[in-house]
Amino acid sequence: MIRATYRRVATAFLLITFGITLAAPAVYASAAREPARARSAMVASQHELASKIGVEVMRRGGNAVDAAIAVGIALAVVYPEAGNIGGGGFMLIRFKDGRTHAIDYREMAPAAAHRDIFVDKDGNVIRGEGGSTIGYRASGVPGTIAGFEMALAKFGSGKLKWKDLIEPSIPLARDGYVLTNRLASLLEGYKEHLSKYPDSNRIFLNNGKYFKEGDLFKQPELAMTLKRIAEKGPREFYEGETAKLIASDMKANNGLITLEDLKNYKAKERTPIRGTYRGHEIISMPPPSSGGIVMLQVLNMLEEWDIASMGHNSAAKYHLFTEASRRAFADRAEYMADPDFADVPAASLVSKSYAATRRKGIEPKKASLSREVKFGEVSISEGQDTTHYTVVDPAGNVVSNTYTINDLYGSRVTIKGTGILMNDEMDDFAARPGVPNLFGLVQGERNKVEGGKRPLSSMTPTIVLRKDGSVWFAVGARGGPRIISAVMQTVINVIDHGMNIQQAIDAPRIHHQWLPDEIFHEPYGLSPDTMAIMRGFGHKFADRPGNIASATGIMIGNDGARYGAIDSRSDGAAIGY
């Protein structure tokens, strides 16, 4: 790595000093951070305390799956805006010997939910309390504990028990941890709705007095809940005291989740979705996430063009990326949903031949109009917020895990007496097909609300292989549909532009999701000249720039070392040994 850095610095010196031009993409270390490096094991998560717990699990002989479970529980305590036991997600696992598994622990709609549950008598979508984003009715049945239970039973090392993975987080909840300025300000920033729910108001807003940077933040009820789950096992959450507390608070507040819903929740193993980009195998999450399919569709469309020579931030590349994204997101709206409830033509959508057809409508210097770009023709009859973390263990096994309570602080409801902050994942269904959700996403009939169904997700935990079949890097992100853009641009940055994992994650990016028909861009991400060229092609930009998701990832170097990266757009720590 030191030699590689030296080479890049020397190259940059030659280029700057003598104006020498090279054919291969040059990578300038001087303007970018290096990833964290470790010889053997690494955790990259959005909180240092959670990463440390994962590292400690591996030092005790646990594998990447054991560590991922412990990190997930710790984030529920130290990263309450997204870490959770009141939400759900997806875990992608790649063992060193090539076995690959995907666990779907996405929330399920309660049995009483139905297509029109978030629509008033005049047919309008209900906003605020009682709708799909705020309050008790916004929550799906949480899947995190069931997903971790399945991961441990099927893929854990067998050296550490359930209790061993939960216990390290109990003191963090019981005795507290010191709040950063970011978390203290963020909690107060969400007071409008958190203050409406007594336990949320007391725990997260200090009873209206709010927290300051440096305060010790304690969550005694969450500590008790974790203790019960550690001692009695994962079923406690679904059938024990915790389940009773959730169901009775739901009943008292017009919520939908019952004891029966909790008892019936099931995590599922899914077959990972696979494709290739320039000869590298890409493995990601299949439905009920749209992430893997949309990413592979865009990469398939781009593969025909020489993206590397266009340059990372060029108008030419971003034009093609926008056009490919526009088409893939149009397909998302039409075709993607929970595969247990709707036919999702996944294999057709990620095929190279479908990409070739979709690509035909893209002109090199002219933007399409989203209202004229409909979903493509495929055969149906074929058989604000989230967090991602990545773990590599000493044996080279990898876990790429994304989980969520949807919006920051989910539904804002903390279940009485449990410290559990609940998700608002019901908003990932089409509350009314054709009407935009929290993320401005327009979704179709296939993703309508139905009891027992999983809402469509954009979470994209991904693993990319070297051409010899070994793991090269793993990455994922938070940020609703922008997750997909962040992950696929990280893949492009590494494969086409030769960036290391830190540079690939930090680099500016764009996002286009079909509707609204505008490009989201980042502060300082695009030069005025690039934007002028793209406007000349007919593209529109969002009025104001904003960050596009935030990613974490780990790359395994040629030397076998682990290189961990946390996005410059957010907190976190990549820690290893």
Residues contributing to the site for ligand GLY (CB under 6 A):
386, 404, 406, 428, 457-459, 480
427 vs 84: CA distance, rounded Å: 17
Distance of CA 237 to the CA centre of its chain: 24
* Phi then psi dihedrals of residue 367, to 5 deg: -75, 145
Q: Measured from the CB of residue 482, what is the shortest distance to ligand GLY in angstroms?
A: 9
* 218, 182 contact by CB (below 8 A): no
Residue showing the smallest CB distance to ligand GLY in the complex: 457
Q: Which two tokens stand for residue 227?
A: 């203790």
200 vs 422: CA distance, rounded Å: 10
The amino acid occupying position 342 is A
Q: Which is nearer to ligand GLY, 95 or 520 (CB)?
A: 520
The enclosing H or E element of 429 equals: none
Q: Which is nearer to ligand GLY, 87 or 376 (CB)?
A: 87
Instruction: With H, G, I as helix, E, B as strand and everything else as coil, classify residue 68.
Output: helix
Q: Measured from the CB of residue 352, what is the shortest distance to ligand GLY in angstroms?
A: 26
Q: Measured from the CB of residue 510, what is the shortest distance to ligand GLY in angstroms?
A: 19
Distance of CA 274 to the CA centre of its chain: 18
Q: Which is nearer to ligand GLY, 478 or 539 (CB)?
A: 478
141 vs 316: CA distance, rounded Å: 44
Q: Which is nearer to ligand GLY, 46 or 406 (CB)?
A: 406
Find the catalytic residue in 133, 144, 258, 386.
Answer: 386
Distance of CA 197 to the CA centre of its chain: 27
Q: Which is nearer to ligand GLY, 386 or 552 (CB)?
A: 386
488 vs 556: CA distance, rounded Å: 18
Q: Measured from the CB of residue 459, what is the shortest distance to ligand GLY in angstroms?
A: 5
Q: Which two tokens stand for residue 139?
A: 């929550």
Q: Which is nearer to ligand GLY, 132 or 457 (CB)?
A: 457
Q: Measured from the CB of residue 191, what is the shortest distance to ligand GLY in angstroms?
A: 22
Q: Which two tokens stand for residue 521?
A: 């861009």
- Spell out the SS3 assignment of 172-200: HHHCCEECCHHHHHHHHHCHHHHCCCHHH
Instruction: With H, G, I as helix, E, B as strand and everything else as coil, classify residue 323.
Output: helix
Q: Measured from the CB of residue 455, what is the shortest distance to ligand GLY in angstroms?
A: 7
Q: Measured from the CB of residue 483, what is the shortest distance to ligand GLY in angstroms?
A: 6
Q: Which is nearer to ligand GLY, 403 or 563 (CB)?
A: 403
Q: Which is nearer to ligand GLY, 256 or 315 (CB)?
A: 256
57 vs 53: CA distance, rounded Å: 6
The amino acid occupying position 205 is L
Q: Which two tokens stand for residue 336?
A: 């993607």
- Mark whether 100 is an active-site residue: no
Alpha-carbon distance values, 154 to 66, 101, 268 (Å): 11, 10, 12
Residue of 64, 154, 173 lying closest to 105 (CA atoms): 154
Q: Measured from the CB of residue 479, what is the shortest distance to ligand GLY in angstroms?
A: 8
Q: What crossing angle do the helices spanning 144-155 and 64-78 adopt, rounded to 10°?
A: 160
Catalytic residue numbers? 386
